Homo-oligomer: A and B are copies of this chain.
Amino acid sequence: MSQEHMSLPKRRGRPPSQMARARVLKAAHDILTEDGFGRLTVEAVAAKSGVGKPTIYRQWANASELAMAALMSGDTGAFDEGGTNLRSALTAQMRSLIQAFATTRGRQIAMTLAAADPDSEFTKAFRNQVILSSREAGRALLLEAAARGEIMLPQDVDVLLDMIYGPVFYRLLVGHRPLDASFADNIVAIALEVVASS
């Protein structure tokens, strides 16, 4: 009696082919990793996947949305949470994040986000799943530690979170300094100084 009102649209007509969708995402992902964002054209994806261009355009409005879908499709969003206390957990997460973004893929994610229509629903989903999921995981770690009384959070946690995760994208996009493990460690060290309770 609970989920009877769930979406049972029973739409007429031939349903969209899940196989076509999967082949498109696979092809887009391959092109992205092999040739880069600049080569991810709808034409190339259609040719590589064997799916017609109109079929692609039926689901995605342009190459940017397709790129976001491909980047999301093979992404769990999970991070190694490496320990019980805040410092080790946050450090593990930051190292994992930086390792994930310090590759070609990281730059492609940045380019994709920069090129995307910021108001599209697709873009919002991409932001939440790919960009902000780490930020939310970090927020959870901080809130738990604060609940345990280990730390004192500032009134505006969002700013602190941006100061932790923003620098990763800053270096990724600007490239003035390397993205490496010691960068992760240093950010965590400074952040923990801020929330040191005493």
Interface pair A190/B114, CB less than 8 Å apart? no
Interface pair B190/A154, CB less than 8 Å apart? yes
Contact residues of A: prevailing secondary structure: helix
Interface pair B170/A166, CB less than 8 Å apart? yes
The interface stretch among A26-34, A43-51, A83-91, A171-179 is A171-179
Which residues from B are CB-within-8-Å of A174? 113, 127, 131-132, 169
> Nearest CB to that of A185 among chain B residues?
B159
Min CB gap A92→B, angstroms? 18
Q: How many residues of A sit at the interface, in one of the four size bands? A: 35 or more
Report which of B107, B162, B171, B194 forms a contact with A167, defined as CB distance below 8 A.
B162
Residues of chain A from 184 to 198 with CB closer than 8 A to chain B in the complex: 186-187, 189-191, 193-194
Residues of chain A from 108 to 159 with CB closer than 8 A to chain B in the complex: 110-111, 113-115, 118, 127, 131-132, 135, 154, 156, 158-159
Task: Point out residues on A near B: beta carbons under 8 Å.
Answer: 107, 110-111, 113-115, 118, 127, 131-132, 135, 154, 156, 158-160, 162-171, 173-177, 183, 186-187, 189-191, 193-194
